[in-house]
Chain A
Amino acid sequence: MDFLVTLLTNGGALLHSTLVAATPLLLAALGETIVQRAGVINIGLEGILLIGAFAGVTTCYMSGSPLLGMLVGALSGLLFALLFAGLTIGLSADQIVVGVSLNLLAAGITGVLYRGIFGVTGQAVQVTTFAPISLPFLGTFPVFGPALFQHTALVYLAIALVPLCTFFLFQLRAGLQLQAVGEHPHAAETLGISVRKVRTFALAMEGLLGGIAGSYLSLAYSNTFIEGMSAGRGFIALAIVIFGRWNPSGALWGALFFGAATALQFHLQALGSEIPYQFVLMLPYVLTILALVLLKTHTSAPAALGQPYNRE
């Protein structure tokens, strides 16, 4: 019971690290939600994160500006997503194969370039990071102020994107067309919607968001690049999309849940808990499978998910 008491008194810190850990997951999951709503599964999201993280660090190292790093990170994510689009939308290549290969490519390229640019000095490269911004008035609240309103700009951006994405998907004409493409591409095409254009657009959005998520990892979550530092977050984002039933607000809850598991793991370790931290980390994956079984979430999946589209 002792550690539970400590845990409660540490609630503020726990909440803070939950948001910090949830942000990259949320950004990536929002991107994947848009893409899957358009009927595409992009397993290569993990690679996009890694590329974004690397491009972010390199740019920030050269220029000293985390903001510029994030922008270049977003653009390299975009480029990577467009490569996926060219192969799977342009040529109708298999989405799983291309996704898995892009992950392999990202791991390889970032590894080779990191060693090529920064050498093997044994000391990891260090860059300036995004500084936390305390929101006026809100940031001064006890406990909740530091926990919720003293974060880097990217945290606020990620959360602000949730209502924006919801508005886009469910209110805007373009968003409804995107959903139509994911549900029934052939019907959408007869209505004059270009399936290829819509899907490419969705992937471009995901590339930007994934790139930002990646640069968050290297420019806010940490201040360096480590090979393979995306550490499966792209795959967690895939789980969050299902968990959130293909809704941006669902993605927010999913990301917070997975973020909390990460944060809790560190706190439990720090508090010397008896619960093996691996089980805390494993929990979200197990729960995602359970959610698929119990909530029948697959019925809310876009009907044409993962199917390549040929016009004839």
Chain B
Amino acid sequence: MTARPTSLVSLLLALISAAIVITIGLSFAGISVSSVFANLWLGAAGDAYRLSETAVKACPLLFTGLAVMLALHAGLWNIGAEGQLLLGALATAWVGQYIAALSSALAIVIVVAVSLSAGFLWAGCAAYLKQKHNVNEVISTLMLNFVAVYLVSYSVHGPLMEVAGQYPQTNPLPVTATLPRLFPPARFHLGILLALVVALTVWIFLFRTKAGFRLRATGANPTAARFAGIAVEREVTIAFVLSGALAGLAGGIEVSGITQRVYEKFSPGYGYTAIAVALVGQRSPVGVVLAALFFGALDAGASAVQRTVGVSSVLASVIQAIVVLFLAAYSTDTIQRLISRISTRFALLLLVGVAFLCSH
């Protein structure tokens, strides 16, 4: 599960390949390639406000990406980040009703704690099913995702529906429970800094503590880990519930930082995109930060492309998917062997050559 020396080369190749495929696709459709890429860039990083938007879009992807990555280090796929995020968001909206009178700091701490716990418990269901009943976690979390979707739907139509009763959505969080914006009017909020702190914490946990080592040993080789005296089942459970807690936090922070409310279709699939983020991030916390920023930039940029060029903003999903598909292909043993057969220097030369051709 550790990154291979050639993994950065694979990533670069994947990015270049994706750029080529997108270029070909857009040219076929008769859309100006340069204006799409220019507007992607302007929309993501054109000015301070756009940069802030990139960070805003990256925030939930960073939390959920870290969640998926953490489970991956223990050898598990957490396909359930989507459901855990929804539960975290829902729990935040629920607790929001009771904390209006508290001080802001205390209210925010409660939001963090409640959303963490909701994700923790939701993932705990899947972990329990896996350990006690041998239910595959990919299947159980997929099912739990849909249960979460309908729980949200029920709550916003029923017990948590706004007092105004006009739309199927929850009441806005009390002002005390909302995360402060650091550079208004930009939406850059405190939660983004918290996400970076969490990334650092996850890094320290995984690579600088004994508990993190046990977890990684379990993922790298469960049989060997068991012989070394590690309680593999326990590690798997710990990794999974921690992963769920991070995904739940993603939901809480998104409500508290951006949306203030929960409604149906609250998440445009953050939990699923998180799998791509963890993969592009090469399973390292720093990598996940960069990957989340990259994906957030694509989301922010694609909105600008929709406004100016008229190409639907789901273009971002297309680019993200193509990058990940190429990366998955280039990370396989077959292609890795091919890459290492070519000397690194030659590969770099090739990259520069392709980049040169692309720019013309």
B-contacting residues of A (Cβ < 8 Å)?
A: 41, 43, 87, 91-94, 96-98, 100-105, 107-109, 111-112, 114-116, 227, 232, 235, 238-239, 242, 276, 278-279, 281-282, 285-286, 288-289, 292-293, 298, 306, 310
Contact A292:B133 (CB < 8 A) given known A100-B275, A112-B315: yes
Contact B314 A111 (CB under 8 A): yes
**How many Å from the CB of B67 to the closest CB on chain A?**
15
12 A/B residue pairs, CB under 8 Å, sorted by A: A87-B328, A91-B334, A91-B335, A93-B332, A96-B138, A104-B269, A104-B317, A235-B142, A238-B139, A238-B142, A285-B144, A289-B135
- The answer to whether A285 and B143 have CB atoms under 8 Å apart is yes
Q: What separation, in Å, do the CA atoms of A116 and B305 have in the docked complex? A: 13
- Partner of B317 from the list A93, A111, A282, A286 (CB cut-off 8 Å) is A111
Q: Are B317 and A108 in contact (CB under 8 A)?
A: yes
Question: In the docked arrangement, what's the CA distance between A103 and B79, Å?
Answer: 13
Instruction: List chain B residues, Cβ under 8 A from A93.
Output: 328-329, 331-332
Q: Which of B136, B153, B333 contacts A92 (CB 8 A)?
A: B333
Which B residues are CB-close (under 8 A) to A107? Answer: 269, 314, 317
Are B153 and A289 in contact, with the CB atoms below 8 A? Answer: no
Establish whether residues A91 and B332, one from each chain, have CB atoms under 8 Å apart when the complex forms: yes
A100: which B residues are within 8 A, CB to CB? 79, 272, 275-276
B146 contacts A101, CB within 8 Å? no
Note all chain A residues with C-beta closer than 8 A to B77.
Answer: 96
- Indicate if the CB atoms of B133 and A281 lie closer than 8 Å: no
What 15 new A-B contacts, CB under 8 Å, besides A94-B328, A289-B129? A87-B325, A91-B335, A98-B325, A101-B324, A101-B328, A108-B315, A108-B319, A111-B312, A116-B311, A232-B146, A235-B146, A278-B157, A282-B151, A285-B143, A292-B140
Interface string of B135-166 (1 = CB under 8 A from A): 11011101111110111011001100000000
Once bound together, how far apart are the Cα atoms of A235 and B141, in whole Å? 11
Chain A residues with Cβ below 8 Å from B310 are: 115
- B65 CB to nearest A CB, Å: 13
Q: A239-B143, A285-B143 are in contact. Are A92 and B276 (CB under 8 A)?
A: no
Q: CA separation between A279 and B150, bound complex, in Å?
A: 7
Question: Is the C-beta of B291 less than 8 angstroms from some C-beta in chain A?
Answer: no
Residue of B nearest to A100 (CB): B275
| CA–CA, A288 and B142, complex, Å | 11
CB of B321 closer than 8 Å to a CB of A: yes
Expressed in whole angstroms, the Cα–Cα distance for A14 and B129 within the complex equals 34
The winner among A41, A100, A111, A242 for most chain B CB atoms within 10 A is A100
B322 beta carbon closer than 8 Å to chain A: yes
* B interface secondary structure, majority: helix
B91 sits at the interface (CB 8 A): no
User: Which chain B residues border A103 with CB–CB below 8 Å?
Assistant: 272
- Measured CA separation A3–B115 after assembly (Å): 39
B147 touches A97 (CB 8 A): no
B317 touches A41 (CB 8 A): no
Q: Which residues of B contact A (CB under 8 A)?
A: 29, 77, 79, 129, 133-136, 138-140, 142-147, 149-151, 153-154, 157-158, 269, 272-273, 275-276, 279, 310-312, 314-322, 324-325, 328-329, 331-335
Chain A residues with CB under 8 A of B133: 292-293
Complex: A282 Cα to B138 Cα, angstroms: 18
Given contacts A93-B329, A282-B150, A292-B133, A108 and B276 within 8 Å (CB-CB): no
Chain B residues positioned under 8 Å from A276 (CB to CB): 154, 157-158
Q: A105 is contacted by which of B139, B154, B322 (Cβ under 8 Å)?
A: B322
| Closest residue of B by beta carbon distance from A281 | B150
* Cα–Cα distance between A12 and B324 once the two chains are bound (Å): 48
State the CA gap A97–B154 with chains docked (Å): 31
**Alpha-carbon distance between A112 and B318 when the two chains are bound, in angstroms:** 9
Q: Are B138 and A298 in contact (CB under 8 A)?
A: no
CA distance A94 to B333 in the complex (A): 11
How far apart are the CA atoms of A98 and B77 in the complex, in Å?
Answer: 13
Chain A residue at minimal CB-CB distance from B153: A278
Report whether A105 and B150 are in contact in the complex, using a CB–CB cutoff of 8 Å. Answer: no
The answer to whether A108 and B321 have CB atoms under 8 Å apart is yes
In the bound assembly, the distance between CA atoms of A279 and B152 in angstroms comes to 11
**Given the complex, which residues of A lie within 8 Å of B151, measured CB to CB?**
278, 282
Contact present for A289 and B334 (CB under 8 Å): no
Interfacial chain A residues near B144, Cβ < 8 Å: 285, 289
When C-beta atoms are compared, the residue in chain B nearest to A293 turns out to be B133
Whether B279 contacts A97 by the Cβ 8 Å rule is yes
Contact status B321-A91, CB under 8 Å: no
> CB distance B324 to A292 under 8 Å?
no
Q: Which residues in B have their C-beta under 8 angstroms from that of A242?
A: 139
How far apart sit A306 and B79, CA to CA, in the bound complex (Å)?
15
**Which A residues are CB-close (under 8 A) to B138?**
41, 43, 96, 306
Least CB distance, A88 to chain B, in whole angstroms: 9
Nearest-CB residue, chain A, relative to B31: A116
A288's contact among B143, B149, B157, B269, by CB below 8 Å, is which?
A: B143
**Cβ B147 vs Cβ A285 within 8 A:** yes
Which residue of chain B lies nearest to A242 when distances are taken between CB atoms in the complex? B139
Do A97 and B324 have beta carbons less than 8 Å apart? yes
B residues less than 8 Å from A112 (CB atoms)? 311-312, 314-315, 318
Q: How far is the CA of A292 from the CA of B335 in the complex (A)?
A: 37
Alpha-carbon distance A238/B136, docked complex (angstroms): 13
- Minimum CB–CB distance for A90 against chain B, Å: 8
- The answer on a CB contact under 8 Å between B318 and A298 is no
Taking each of A41, A102, A111, which has the highest tally of chain B beta carbons within 10 Å of its own beta carbon? A111
**Which of B133, B143, B145 has most A Cβ within 10 Å?**
B143
Alpha-carbon separation in the docked complex, A68 to B299 (Å) = 36
Query: What CA separation (Å) do A41 and B334 show in the bound complex?
Result: 21
A104 touches B333 (CB 8 A): no
Question: Chain B residues near A282 (CB, 8 Å)?
Answer: 146-147, 150-151
